[in-house]
Amino acid sequence: MAPKAQQPQREKITIPKLYEMKARGEPVSWLTCYDYPTALLMDRAGIDMILVGDSLGMTMLGYPTTLPVTMDVMITFTAAVCRAVKYAFVIGDMPYMSYQISKEEAIRNAGRFMAECGTDAVKLEGGARMAPVVRAITDAGIPVMGHIGLTPQSYTQLGGYKAQGRDAETAKKLIADAEALEEAGAFAILLECVPAPVAKIIHERVKIPVYGLGSGKDVDGQLMIVHDMIGMFERFTPKFVKRYVNLSPILLEAFSKYREEVKSGQFPQPEHFYSMAEGELEKLLSALKRRRA
């Protein structure tokens, strides 16, 4: 019998490995995650990158936008994910007003992700106008991913949650933003809801990895919000989402069946009970009887 082929040893994903993947044209698989058990499964599945996104404000906490999410909230969720992950590259998403006030505040908050959670990098929104902040954080030794296109923290300025760069003028600005982020030291860029032709141009013009969320195939990897892909966020479904499983009706059926069985007395059954050691019940009843007497 021929010996079994040895499986390649898994290694922790690092920035150099992300650059190697870009060089050989291997797309990066990337998902958001907000909790320990889901992070365990993603890591076992071989997902390359995990983003603990401020999208948790909507998917996990029920807010209408991401704006109410604070640094303390992000630290709690991000630390849980990091405790589960051995191999994936984990990115902490800097929430609203955690990096806009000053460079010093931005460095301090980015450092919290690294020191208190153990992330591999942080992500922040904004192009050329945020380049000085990106430079300050990277100069402090903290890897930064840029994020341009639809930037949810600025949704009011953008006129809502809609694609960006659909005309030549705004597309030109996105290209300039990407180049400014690269110049500022960002190790990678996320393009959210950018037309595929514009994403392709950006991918060709910068040397760092460019990842897409609803931005076509001509990028170095794809991000998806986990609750969108598993059917656990029903408020709206973006055009670019592919649903791989719909857990909502499955869970609803399980919860409904549990309720029915409790109401009818079908649950619990003896196999779900704990028992006492042999003879101990008799001792207990005898002791209680003596106490009454």
Hey, which residues are catalytic here? 192
Look up residue 215 and give its two tokens.
């931005």
Asked if residues 176 and 127 have their Cβ atoms less than 8 Å apart, the reply is yes
Tokens 């460095």 label which residue?
107
* Amino acid, res. 286: S
Q: Taking Cα atoms as reference points, which of 131, 44, 29 lies closest to residue 84?
A: 44
Range 105-114, long-range pairs (CB < 8 A, 24+ positions)? 106/133, 106/136, 106/137, 107/136, 107/137, 107/140, 107/142, 109/71, 110/137, 110/140, 110/142, 110/144, 111/140, 111/142, 112/71, 112/75, 113/74, 113/75, 113/78, 114/142
φ and ψ of 285, to 5 deg: -65, -40
Reading the block at residue 151, the tokens are 């930037």
Residue tagged 């998917």 (tokens): 59
C-alpha closest to that of 121 among 105, 102, 140: 140
Alpha-carbon gap, residue 68 to 66, rounded angstroms: 6
